[in-house]
Amino acid sequence: MESIDADAAWTAFDARDRAADGRFVVGVRTTGIYCRPSCPARRPRRENVDFYRDGTEAAAAGLRACRRCLPDAVARDGVAIAAAVAILDAGETPGLAALAAQVGYAPHHFQRLFTRAMGISPAAYARARRATRAADALTEETTVTDAIYEAGYAAPSRFYEEAVPRLGMSPSAWVRGGTGETIRWASVPTSLGPLLVAATAKGLCRVSFDEDEAALRRRFPNAAIEPGGNDLAGLVAQVVAEIETPVGAALPLDVRGTAFQEKVWQALRRIPAGQTMSYAEIAAAIGSPAATRAVGSACGANAVAVAIPCHRALRSDGTLGGFAYGLERKRALLDREEAGLVREI
């Protein structure tokens, strides 16, 4: 279990930072209680405060839970949120009142809990999941209308309002298996191994090490796959430059994910070259402090290595964690970015 940075914990506690709730509890020796970081009670002196990983650890030290902020309810909140996510992932679309009742909370209270943990409201999460189901249905159904109702939309107007902006290509193109989409690609050598770069007219859709045209066709089985020419050469050069002498260039992208994945990817792109963040810090930055594991999963779903710099995400203890193309490459990318930062200084 990761250690607690006492200075950072005190800063969060002093600021009543709700994003820190669930990450640690605050023990107050003078009162014999432990609290959430966001507890509204008056702040004690710094020298009278200790930090614990959770209520169990604080209770073992002889402290009791604060009756005002109910720190042990954080774990119960997490269970309820996980249950709600499972309901929405399964394709059910209950209203807020029904969803909250199913997990044992009052509607407005649960709305705040869910939004704080996931970064979006239950309704927004349900819309994102429904749009994902629509994309899947469009590849399986024979008509757009069939796909709309299979995905759970009550009317076509809602589908065109919610899902179409997320699809990238037109619904009819999805039904035809991606017909009409053109992806240009190139395979180039780099000092970290062969690199595949593929892009639509909008931007990069695949950047990966050790893959070839066959792998690209498996990923996009019904698109028109063509070798890139001069129109792709400039973009390929920019990607290679981010591997050899990285500066953190903002490359054009054509990638789509769930609402949560896209928030994680945006957060990754905001990390400057030469710097890193832990999965927990990224989760907190996007307003979902309890979603550390989900952040790791979003990093794993990244289709454009380097362009979305998931290599800048580390475990909370500072170790590298996972990387689809090997930890040696992850370390090399980080070392090169750090070296570039030193050169700039």
In the CATH hierarchy, which fold is given to the domain comprising 181-345? Answer: Arc Repressor Mutant, subunit A (1.10.10)
Domains 6-65 and 181-345 share a fold: no
pLDDT digits (tens), the chain, 345 positions: 456 888 888 998 998 887 677 778 999 999 999 998 888 889 999 999 999 988 889 999 999 999 888 888 766 777 788 788 888 877 777 888 999 898 888 888 888 878 776 667 888 777 766 666 555 554 444 454 454 445 454 444 454 455 444 444 444 444 444 456 788 999 999 999 999 999 988 889 899 999 999 988 888 887 889 998 888 999 999 999 999 988 878 888 887 777 788 889 989 998 888 889 999 889 888 888 878 888 888 898 898 999 999 999 998 878 888 888 999 999 999 999 888 643 443
d(CA 323, CA 312): 10
CATH superfamily of 6-65: DNA Methylphosphotriester Repair Domain (3.40.10.10)
d(CA 92, CA 333): 42
d(CA 277, CA 142): 45
Place of tokens 């030193």: 342
Q: Where are the domains of the chain?
A: 6-65, 73-119, 125-175, 181-345
Among 219, 216, 181, smallest CA distance to 201 is for: 181
Can you tell me whether residue 209 is helix, strand or coil? Answer: strand
Write the CB contacts of 181 (distance below 8 Å, at least 6 apart in sequence). 169, 173, 200, 220, 222, 223, 224
Q: How many residues appear in the chain?
A: 345
Strands of the chain (E only): list them.
Answer: 25-28, 33-35, 49-52, 64-65, 182-188, 195-199, 204-209, 224-227, 277-278, 313-314
The residues annotated as belonging to the active site are 35, 310
Among 47, 60, 52, 45, smallest CA distance to 25 is for: 52
Which amino acid would we find at residue 24? F
